[in-house]
Amino acid sequence: MDGRVTMADVAREADVSLMTVSRVVNDKGEISPSTRQRVLEVIERLGYRPSAIARGLATNRTGTLGLVVPDIANPFFSDIARGVEEEAYAAGYNVFLCSTYEDPERETDVLQSLEEQRIDGLVLCSSRLDDKTLRRMLAGFPAIVLTNRWLDGYGAGVIRVDSELGGRLATNFLLDAGHTAVGFLTGPPTSVDGRLRVNGYHAALEAAGKPRSAALERPCPSNVDGGREAAREFLASQPGLTALLCYNDLVAIGALFACVDLGLRVPSDLAVVGFDDIALAAWVSPPLTTCGSPRFELGVKAMQMLLDRIDGGTGEGQEILVQPELVVRSSAP
Partner DNA sequence: CTGTTAGCGCATTCAA
Partner DNA sequence: TTGAATGCGCTAACAG
Task: Find the part of the chain contacting a second copy (CB under 8 A) among 114-122, 127-135, 177-185, 238-246.
Answer: 114-122
CB of 247 within 8 A of CB of 187? yes
Backbone conformation region of residue 316, classed left if phi is above 0, alpha if psi is from -120 to 50, else beta: beta
Question: What SS3 class is residue 222?
Answer: coil
Residue from the set 57, 73, 236, 321 that interacts with DNA by CB under 7 A: 57
Residue from the set 19, 73, 207, 208 that interacts with DNA by CB under 7 A: 19
Strand order in the sheet with 289-292: 217-219, 182-187, 243-246, 271-276, 289-292, 325-327
* Number of neighbouring beta carbons within 10 Å of residue 218: 18
CB of 14 to a second copy, least distance (A): 20
Residue from the set 25, 72, 262, 326 that interacts with DNA by CB under 7 A: 25
Residue from the set 17, 26, 37, 51 that interacts with a second copy by CB under 8 A: 51
Residue from the set 37, 41, 45, 51 that interacts with DNA by CB under 7 A: 51
In angstroms, the CA 100 to CA 124 distance is: 11
Q: Applying CB under 7 A, does 35 fall inside the site for DNA? A: yes
Reported in sequence order, the residue ranges of 91-188 that DSSP labels E, i.e. its strands, are 94-99, 121-125, 144-147, 157-161, 182-187
Strand partners, 185: 218, 246
CB of 164 within 8 A of CB of 194? no
Residue ranges that bind DNA, judged by CB under 7 A: 2, 4, 6-8, 15-20, 22-23, 25-26, 28-32, 34-36, 48, 50-51, 54-55, 57-60
- Tell me which residues touch a second copy (CB under 8 A): 2, 47, 49-54, 56-57, 60, 62-64, 67, 71-73, 75, 78-79, 81-82, 85, 89, 92, 94-99, 106, 109-110, 112-118, 139-140, 224, 253, 279-280, 283-285
